[in-house]
Structure 1
Amino acid sequence: MNPIKTNAALFFAGLIVSVASITSSHAADKPTLAFVVNGASDFWKAAEAGVKKAQAEMPDYTMELKYPEQASVAVQQRLMDDLVSAGVKGIMVSAVDPKTSTDGLNKIGSQTALFTTDSDAPQTNRVAYIGSSNIDAGMQAAEIAKKAMPDGGKCIGFVGLLGADNAKERIQGMKDGLKGTKIELTDVRGDDIDQTRAKKNVEDALVASPDVTCMVGFYSYNTPRIYEALRDAGKLGQITVVGFDDDPITLGGVKEGTVAATVVQQPFEWAYQGMKLMASYLKGDKSGIPENKLIIIPTVIVGKDDVDAYAANLKAMAGK
């Protein structure tokens, strides 16, 4: 054996290991930020695009959008615990049920920078909330109903998580907006983000309340399930439908006139601005956090005349 060749081989082998270790160390030092949603829904596709845009502008971070296996407090908490264990530096979460998650969210907030979106948890140690004013969104839903039903009527609402703040606030905002009118929101039915159950809730309501004149879909997938149930029952166009968000079925219904209008949020902006906000915060820049810790991205009403322009803007944001 040639000792010179052997020593050279050992030297280069050590050099390769050393370089690999440095590369691995740099990869490990690259901060990861996670956007954790409350359940599987096409609504979050826009947020995925927002995360992607922020990632492109901030390559020194790893940015991820994570879906829990199911819409439950326990499953979402386990996902966040796993992210913290993996070294994630910041988490933005749409909590499944903030009221029953205070301890779990505070645990996450004590270990990493915690922000909320979509459904706030102001009683926790979260740094800030970025998202819609759900009260305002509910009041906009009332405006749609009042314009579509000048003679009044009976509304039934449908929502994923009855206990979530975003649901409660939208419902309350709509009720407040309907005060003094002949329109009443008499009932709201939850489905725990089970879309089969969401459609069945509508079908059951048609049987149990034959006098219903208005249906409201408070979550993004609720309006499409209302649309399908009414279509199958031959009642499409006979009952006023007030929508939330921009599912293609919802926008199609608005364009054809079977959905009165829809209140749209901006999850793309929540994710895009939110990831950049978290990155700045982690660098020590807290100037983006207002005193009240609320960053409100306005909701808007999309009616029949607005659909084409709105859809085109969605495609542009998604880079299509």
Structure 2
Amino acid sequence: MQRRHILSLFAAILAGTVAAGAVSAQEKKTLALVTNASADFWTIARRGVEKAQSELPNYKTEMYVVSEATAAEQRRILDDLLTRGVAGVSISAIDPANSTEILNKVAEQAVLFTTDSDAPQSKRVLYIGTDNRQAGEQAGELIKKALPDGGRIMLFVGTMGAANARERVEGIKKALEGSKVEIIDIRTDEVDFARAKRNVEDTLTKYPDISALVGLYSYNTPQIVEAVRAAGKQGQVKVIGFDEDPVTLRGIADGIVEATVVQQPFEFGYQSMKLLARYIEGDRSFIPENHLMIIPTKVIDSSNVAEFQKTMKELLRK
């Protein structure tokens, strides 16, 4: 009888412990990062999210890589997150002008940050990322350095609907003012890699004497590199890019790419999660007056590409 009582008591304690564990798991707030594309850029950001998770035991961090780069796909993800009661979201807005309604809906039910591509007309609390106009100016200076006597260039990007794309173009145009460099056009691809490469191939065919090709999104420069190799135009046409795709970095090492302007996606992921948690817990002290947290960019060229490649390999291999 006594043994039966002890076993019953043990079972009750065990059940209570399991129940407490389940409740504890349920009480963990969810923080989510929503991307604007699928690329190594976001794999690096994921490493930042993973580091933040190791420092936030009371939260569950998640990352959502869009299956297609559309505002509709982001809306689907956000609707699902709201249904699940997400506590905080950091998103790289694909088409902020046409996403204000869903972004504000998120802001009403959770804490909303933007990263990489801002949505300043929304009720987002904070933008974490690059000053894209300044980054564009950096790229513009690289273009002028590569073409001291001027020339005709083509720009390539996913969509001009995104703030980061528009701002980079604005920065490039500002830097090129008064120079002899002429922008022929801006070719968009809606984050379709095959289409991105065709855009470069078509440009090389239509403008055989083109001086430079400029990739504004992380996957654009690799497509430029592949198309230039296939056309046998290495050394004949200058290539300037953005971000740290391995193909871009290899292109710099091989002398095909002049330079690339790199961001810090690891920090985008890490800071998004850490600061969302702080905000949820009532700390507002880190919010700047302009609600912008700028993560500086830097230029990678032949002088520092080898060291940078080692760093990127370590991040991508984990």
Q: For this structure pair, what is the TM-score category when the shorter chain's length is used for normalisation?
A: over 0.9
Query: Per the alignment, in what secondary structure is the counterpart of residue 87 of structure 1?
Result: coil
Does the 8 A contact of 1:155 with 1:214 survive in 2?
yes
Instruction: Give the structure-1-normalised TM-score.
Output: 0.94
Q: Tell me the equivalent position of 1:45.
A: 43
Q: Tell me the equivalent position of 2:129.
A: 131
**Alignment: residue pair count:** 318
Q: Tell me the equivalent position of 2:242.
A: 244
* CA deviation after TM superposition for structure 1 residue 78, in Å: 1.1
What is the correspondence of 1:222-233 to structure 2 with a 5 Å cutoff? 222-233=220-231
Q: Tell me the equivalent position of 1:152.
A: 150
* CA deviation after TM superposition for structure 1 residue 317, in Å: 5.3
Structure 2: where are the runs of 5+ without partners? none
Counterpart code for 1:81:
D
Q: Tell me the equivalent position of 2:211.
A: 213
Does the 8 A contact of 1:175 with 1:184 survive in 2?
no
Q: What's the % identity of the aligned pairs?
A: 50
| 1:126-153 CA-partner distances (Å, limit 9, x unpaired) | 0110000110111111111111110000
Q: CA RMSD in A?
A: 1.8
1:302 to 296, 300, 303: 300
* CA deviation after TM superposition for structure 1 residue 3, in Å: 12
Counterpart code for 2:82:
V
CA distance in 1, matches of 2:129, 2:123: 17
1:79 to 77, 80, 91: 77
What is the correspondence of 1:92-111 to structure 2 with a 5 Å cutoff? 92-111=90-109
Cα 1:283–1:318, aligned 2, differ >3 Å: closer, same or farther?
farther
Instruction: Give the structure-2-normalised TM-score.
Output: 0.95
What is the correspondence of 1:243-262 to structure 2 with a 5 Å cutoff? 243-262=241-260
Query: Per the alignment, in what secondary structure is the counterpart of residue 304 of structure 2?
Result: helix
CA distance in 2, matches of 1:313, 1:43: 13
CA distance in 2, matches of 1:13, 1:78: 44
What is the correspondence of 1:167-316 to structure 2 with a 5 Å cutoff? 167-315=165-313
Counterpart code for 1:152:
G
Query: Per the alignment, in what secondary structure is the counterpart of residue 304 of structure 1?
Result: coil
Structure 1: where are the runs of 5+ without partners? none
Does the 8 A contact of 1:255 with 1:305 survive in 2?
no
Does the 8 A contact of 1:245 with 1:265 survive in 2?
yes
2:59 to 61, 64, 76: 61
* CA deviation after TM superposition for structure 1 residue 189, in Å: 0.7
Counterpart code for 1:305:
S
CA distance in 1, matches of 2:112, 2:74: 14
Counterpart code for 1:293:
H
| 1:145-191 CA-partner distances (Å, limit 9, x unpaired) | 11111000011011112210100110111011000000122211111
